[in-house]
């Protein structure tokens, strides 16, 4: 994606690897700590994912590391899920040893946490961090003058 070339489902498997890494570690795998993204994009293109996260006090099993590593292969043709699809991902040891395939396919996995919801108050924000709910609401409407900048790309999303 970064070089503008065509892509298919393999980008979704890449995104899954990024998401799992970030959920476990707490920041993206190629994160540089810099607001400018050019170094991060360079790292994505050129560096392997950094999986020695124990210095951050985070433990990852070897199977988990392998799962992330094969989802983040640079060559999309060799990325997990790109050759045999969803079943290839489900068959990886980190998934198959920890998740019941039939329960996943039949949507029978119970959530480990269900928040208390007040169905009488749809605006209740008790389950959100107060740092978020205390923020001032900002007007994010796009100025009409800027709309033409977006419209020139709208044809790219017609089939999306």
How confident is the model over 14-50, as pLDDT tens digits? 999 999 999 999 988 998 888 778 888 888 888 999 8
Report if pTM > 0.75: no
How confident is the model over 102-117, as pLDDT tens digits? 898 899 988 888 888 8
Kindly indicate the confidence band of residue 2, based on its pLDDT and cuts at 50, 70 and 90: very low
Q: What is the DSSP string of 74-113?
A: SSGGGSTTTTTTHHHHHTSHHHHTTS-HHHHHTT-PPPS-
Q: Identify whether the C-beta of residue 86 lies closer than 8 Å to the C-beta of residue 95.
A: no
DSSP letter at 8 equals -
Lowest mean pLDDT of 2-6, 17-21, 66-70, 95-99, name the range. 2-6
Radius of gyration of the chain (CA): 20
Q: Identify whether the C-beta of residue 114 lies closer than 8 Å to the C-beta of residue 120.
A: no
How confident is the model over 83-140, as pLDDT tens digits? 998 889 999 999 999 989 889 889 998 888 888 888 899 888 888 899 989 988 888 8
């Amino acid at each position: 994606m970064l070089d503008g070339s065509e892509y298919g489902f393999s980008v979704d498997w890449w995104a899954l690897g990024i998401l799992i890494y970030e959920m476990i570690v707490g920041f993206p795998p190629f994160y540089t700590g810099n607001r400018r993204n050019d170094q991060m994009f360079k790292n994505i293109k050129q560096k392997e994912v950094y999986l020695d996260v124990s210095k951050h006090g985070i433990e990852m099993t070897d199977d988990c590391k392998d799962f992330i590593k094969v989802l983040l292969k640079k060559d999309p043709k060799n990325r997990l899920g790109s050759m045999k699809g969803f079943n290839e991902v489900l068959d990886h040891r980190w998934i198959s040893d920890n998740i019941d395939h039939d329960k996943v396919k039949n949507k029978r996995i119970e959530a480990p946490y269900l928040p208390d919801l007040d169905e009488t108050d749809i605006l209740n924000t008790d389950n959100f961090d107060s740092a978020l709910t205390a923020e001032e609401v900002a007007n994010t409407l796009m100025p009409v003058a800027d709309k033409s900048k977006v419209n020139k790309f709208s044809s790219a999303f017609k089939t999306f």
